[in-house]
């Protein structure tokens, strides 16, 4: 292990970067967490709920590859600060939105903020990792997953009792993230130079061939399909789990949001464990396990009572969430000189594919009911068999 990989300075950067990811995703997660409030206040149907998610996710997806390509050529260490400005504006607009159209505009601004944040933040995590890419992506992503888990809890204890305007209080999270990201931007030159030196040492001592265009193309296509399946199943919980619990078990909105928090907290644990274990056993095995592994549990879920529903959803998300760090690092190894593009593309896909899935799932929920929706989604992990087609690029 090199000195750069062990450096406390780089761990400090990763930790602060994880905190900013937490704050960013916390603000994002407030959107689905307040769906029950918005549905009641504006008399929305499930298709309109799905359209809110689609608007947010597509806005968060479209710019990310473009931002990533730009920063590959011209690194912009302070671009995440600009992204937080969009998020801040969207959050305040959502707090005081008086119509469905304003809600859509507000969530689009929050999505644009995330699209600017993720590519450069992913590059920074890569540079600060030294030789421990799985750990670095795990720390970065556990921040995001934790923020996503905290959103429903804060919504339950702040937004539910105080109403939609209380969303404006979370502007403090955006301001805090802007301060931390400014500090991270000042560290960028130093850690990027150390990373370049480490890569040069690895390249000099390695006889690994460059990957062919066909290998890269097949790998990216398979990873994209796996991302879609993973996101489709995850989105069924992020957008519709609270409605499922209320309809099936007659729990309160607060109880449903607390159970959503537990579900999302499992993702935070899973993504960190997946990153660390992936450093040891390889990304290929982790991808297999995380996508296909939850299948028996997803098949049992629609037939479980309230207690076992909670247990099964935690186990499912714990396993399935372990995939993203390995998928992202696998893609970076396919195109090691296009970190910004890969970060933007796969975080963009994470947003866009989830948004498309949410819109499709919303239509299914309106047509067949939320309970039937989970019976259909139970078979999605079967698509994990696609991992067999991934090129074996690990050495």
- Read off the pTM: 0.71
Convert the pLDDT of each residue in 246-290 to its tens digit.
999 999 887 887 888 888 788 878 888 888 888 788 888 999 999
**pLDDT higher than threshold 80 for residue 114:** yes
Task: Give the sign of the dihedral formed by CA 238, CA 243, CA 248, CA 252.
Answer: positive
pLDDT tier for residue 1 given thresholds of 50, 70 and 90: very low
Convert the pLDDT of each residue in 237-253 to its tens digit.
878 898 899 999 999 88
Non-local CB neighbours of 225 within 8 Å, separated by 6+ positions: 383, 386
Lowest pLDDT segment from 6-10, 119-123, 132-136, 138-142: 6-10
CB of 327 within 8 A of CB of 288?
Answer: no
pLDDT for 8: 43
Between 134 and 189, where is the model more confident? 134
pLDDT tier for residue 320 given thresholds of 50, 70 and 90: very high
User: Mean of the pLDDT values across residues 209-235?
Assistant: 86
Cβ neighbours around 204 below 10 Å, total: 7
Q: 3-197+211-389: what CATH class? A: mainly alpha
Q: What are the structural domain ranges in the chain?
A: 3-197+211-389
Helices (DSSP H) in 250-338: which residue ranges? 253-281, 283-292, 295-300, 306-320, 323-334
CB of 370 within 8 A of CB of 240?
Answer: yes
**pLDDT higher than threshold 50 for residue 334:** yes
Query: Rounded distance, CA 67 to CA 101, Å?
Result: 27
> Percent of the chain at pLDDT above 70?
91
Taking alpha carbons only, the member of 218, 226, 223 closest to residue 382 is: 226
Q: Provide the token pair at 50.
A: 């799905």
């Amino acid at each position: 292990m090199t000195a750069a990989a062990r450096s406390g300075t780089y761990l400090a950067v990763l930790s602060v970067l994880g905190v900013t990811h937490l704050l960013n995703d916390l603000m994002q997660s407030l959107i689905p967490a307040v769906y029950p409030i918005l549905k009641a206040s504006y008399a929305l149907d499930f298709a309109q709920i799905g359209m809110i998610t689609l608007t947010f996710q597509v806005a968060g997806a479209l710019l990310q590859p473009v931002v990533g390509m730009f920063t590959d050529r011209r690194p912009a260490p302070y671009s995440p600060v600009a992204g937080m400005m969009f998020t801040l504006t969207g959050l305040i607009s959502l707090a005081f939105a008086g119509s469905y159209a304003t809600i859509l505009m507000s969530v689009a601004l929050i999505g644009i903020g995330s699209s600017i944040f993720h590519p450069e933040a992913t590059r920074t995590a890569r540079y600060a990792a030294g030789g421990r890419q799985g750990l670095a992506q795990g720390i970065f992503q556990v921040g995001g997953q934790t923020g996503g888990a905290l959103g429903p809890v804060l919504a339950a204890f702040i937004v539910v009792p105080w109403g939609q305007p209380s969303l404006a209080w979370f502007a403090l999270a955006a301001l805090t993230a802007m301060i931390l990201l400014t500090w991270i931007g000042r560290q960028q030159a130093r850690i990027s130079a150390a990373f370049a030196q480490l890569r040069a040492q690895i390249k000099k001592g390695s006889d690994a061939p460059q990957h062919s265009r066909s290998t890269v193309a097949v790998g990216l296509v398979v990873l994209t399909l796996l991302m879609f399946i993973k996101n489709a199943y995850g989105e069924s919980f992020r957008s519709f789990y609270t409605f499922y619990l209320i309809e099936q078990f007659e729990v309160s909105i607060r109880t449903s949001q607390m159970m959503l928090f537990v579900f999302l907290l499992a993702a935070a644990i899973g993504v960190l464990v997946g990153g660390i274990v992936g450093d040891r056993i390889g990304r290929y095995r982790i991808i297999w396990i995380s996508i296909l592994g939850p299948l028996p549990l997803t098949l049992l879920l629609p037939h479980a009572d309230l207690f076992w529903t909670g247990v099964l959803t935690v186990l499912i998300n714990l396993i399935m969430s372990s995939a993203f760090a390995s998928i992202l690092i696998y893609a970076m190894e396919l195109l090691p000189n296009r970190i910004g593009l890969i970060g933007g593309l796969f975080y963009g896909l994470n947003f866009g594919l989830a948004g498309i899935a949410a819109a499709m799932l919303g239509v299914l929920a309106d047509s067949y009911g939320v309970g039937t929706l989970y019976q259909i989604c139970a078979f999605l992990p079967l698509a994990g068999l696609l991992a067999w087609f991934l090129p074996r690029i690990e050495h």
